[in-house]
Structure 1
Amino acid sequence: MNYKLQGKGMKIYSFRNFWSKFGTLAILIFLVLFIGIISNGYFLTPENIVQIFLQSSITILIAIGEFFAILLAGIDLSVGAVMALTGLVSAKLLTAGMPVIVAIAAGLFLGIVLGAFNGALVNSTGLHPFIITLGTQAIFRGATLIISNARSVFGFPPVFMQTVSGVLLGIPVPVIIALAFAALCSWFTKRTKAGRNLYAIGGNKNAAWYNGIAVKKHTLLAFIISGFAAGLAGIVTIARLGAAEPQAGIGFETYAIASTIIGGTSFFGGIGRVWGVVIGGLIIGVINNGLNILNVPTFYQQIVMGSLIIISVYLDHFVSKKK
């Protein structure tokens, strides 16, 4: 009898370890093979694989920012609106004749400011980030429509397009930007004291505070990173599209949250890896690309995204409970 109980416990422990380490990668491999088979091989062509990475670069960028908010057992619903507003401001500066580097820096700085605004409101009000970022999402979206007068902005300098959306050594620049940012954030979470403190706060905020960790300071930092990531995504987006759309980024918070949760980040905080989020973003890209190849209507993608979020959170809750 004891042997059976121990065996059962060992199975649960093995599943928990497997899911935390390889679950996301297993999902990606399964989807790639499955869609590759039913699409008669077109899905697995080198050209389409590159396209998947290119399409996933925006999702990966905003998902990495979302990762830091969820790591604290919070959330950032404003990432899509921040992406639109920062991209629009950079586009306005570019069309006004500002140097490319200045326009890019202004967009990134604005992303930092908007992220700090979110973090400051969370700290000062004590409200859950869901409420705060739901409100700031509407504020930022409204500001985007006012500044743009609900019109697209286009006519960027060729050097901007070539620099941000071109190809370097055969690799699309947006992919390079996304992977480089992921590598930097991965290093930050693993090798710095501030990065490790974020995990501690997400695991148990009160315990972290009693151990001398400045909870509010790190909360502000997490939202600043989220805003910066969304700003970077906004700049990459306008370079890829050749225009800044006032309605850009609508629904992207769903992609960011889905990528983060599917990537193995616990919705309850304290657990997650940046490279898992990258794989989660690729899963979203594979699904969207595969459904398009199979001529499945785009609105079915929302059903798939929602289902994946529910399944991933349930598995996270199930594994945590069995732990």
Structure 2
Amino acid sequence: MPQRTLEIDSVSKRFGDVVALDSVSFDVRPGELFGFVGSNGAGKTTAMRIVLGVVSADAGEVRFDGRPVTHEIRTRIGYMPEERGLYPKMKVLDQLVYLAQLHGMPPNEAHRNAETWIGRLGLTDRRADEVQKLSLGNQQRVQLAAALVHDPAVLVLDEPFSGLDPIAVDVMSDVLREQAASGVPVIFSSHQLELVERLCDRVGIIRSGRIVACDSVAELTSSAASQLVVSAPAAPPGWAAALPGVRVVSESGGSTVLELAPDADDQSVLAAALATGPVHEFTRRKASLSELFRTAVAEGAIR
């Protein structure tokens, strides 16, 4: 296993009768952006809290750089919780300096890093403001700065893009790419699957505490059933539902997305569409991550 890899190895966790994680295993490699996605309650936050030591695992192990994660290693993790953990009455600069020093950084270096991230994240004009006086988007930027200010060796971010406007999303995306490019393993959860698909090298999908898919987006989508996009404005709703080997994925405004079984005949589909009137588009395509996610959540393992 490469060095500086974050490994989650057969981790399980139960809360009373609820199984939050069931032998979850995956890794986040050096320089990799790893998207961790699942429905609410699927186990994402529990897994991240176990990495941080906030919650203890019932079984399994978390390792970084080939060693079990200890308190010393956790001080090298940059963490952004879903429930924001800032001190509302502290000023932005003071807070970042304080948090950097909590991670063991000398005062001068902590101050220098805090100023660097304040500038990088567009907070220079708000550096002397109390956090509670900032917009939610700017609070989010401060929270990201807090995860980065101590030069972490690994980043664990829970819903970092939640509530951000498009410009702030671009800023945060660039920062995460830069961190990965410097060799830092980066894992983040998000419900914004188009963003995950665009940013991530690999994606793990968790369902009811179990990993049901884990690979690159290209590999995951290439393994999905073939799809057709058919634009037939005159076709009535449900026109393709009875065709053999065909599943209707979506219908909207005369455009129908179909999933074809391996032995399905696309020419029969075209003939059926033409029987309803003109066909303006008939195109094969790969499934999107959003469609793959819906399949995984509905049906379980897809690989």
What TM-score do the two structures reach when normalised by structure 2? 0.25
Higher strand share: 2
What TM-score do the two structures reach when normalised by structure 1? 0.24
Higher helix share: 1
Q: Identify the structure with bigger relative contact order (alpha carbons < 8 Å, sequence gap 6+).
A: 1
Q: Please say which structure displays the higher CA radius of gyration.
A: 2
